[in-house]
Amino acid sequence: MTQPDYERLSRQLEALLDQRDWLVNAAQTCAFIMQQIPQLNWVGFYLQRQPELLTLGPFQGKPACNPIPFHKGVCGAAARSRQTQRIGDVHAIAEHIACDAESNAELVVPVMRGESLWGVLDLDSPQRERFTTQDQAGIEGLVSVFTAASELPDFLNQDR
């Protein structure tokens, strides 16, 4: 499989996110990643709209698990640690939550709003070891494009 050209994808996503509405931009970002990056079966946002709870946001793929508390799942681990979780084989991870039986590898990137965790972006693949360190850096870059382009509401203090 050829490695996606993440620099080009970043420029394309920047051009696509041409206004500040976070909901539009989150929906477009998931659709863009699903279209442009091979071997994915699910891409979506979970949002911290209540303290330490991840609520399903815009996504592409099958209907998914909702909600996910911070103490559960690979998504919860990313939210707690604020570190990207790159999992080669989800079946080897005790706390993994299986939403779609097709998923074998997972990449979860924290989405920050200033100092606080706003949500996570979750990518699933049927291909074990699908995500390389280059994919991790590339997807983290696309998340930065999303956060720079968007007016992110402060769910925990207002706009819930």
Enumerate binding residues for ligand SME (CB under 6 A). 42, 64-65, 68, 73-75, 96-97, 99, 103, 106, 122, 124
Q: How far is the CB of 29 from ligand SME (least distance, A)?
A: 15
Residues 6+ apart with CB under 8 A from 124: 40, 41, 42, 43, 61, 99, 100, 102, 103, 105, 106
Nearest of 65, 71, 66 to residue 52 by alpha carbon? 71
Looking at the Cβ atoms of 24 and 65, the one nearer to ligand SME is 65
> 53 in the Ramachandran plot: left (φ > 0), alpha (ψ -120 to 50) or beta?
beta
Nearest of 69, 64, 103, 101 to residue 87 by alpha carbon? 103
Looking at the Cβ atoms of 87 and 149, the one nearer to ligand SME is 87
Looking at the Cβ atoms of 99 and 149, the one nearer to ligand SME is 99
Please tell me whether the peptide bond between 38 and the residue prior to it is cis, using omega within 30 degrees of 0: no
Q: How far is the CB of 122 from ligand SME (least distance, A)?
A: 5
Q: How far is the CB of 151 from ligand SME (least distance, A)?
A: 25
Q: How far is the CB of 15 from ligand SME (least distance, A)?
A: 28
Q: Which residue is nearest to ligand SME (CB)?
A: 73
Given a contact cutoff of 8 angstroms between Cβ atoms, the answer to whether 9 and 139 are in contact is no
Looking at the Cβ atoms of 75 and 149, the one nearer to ligand SME is 75
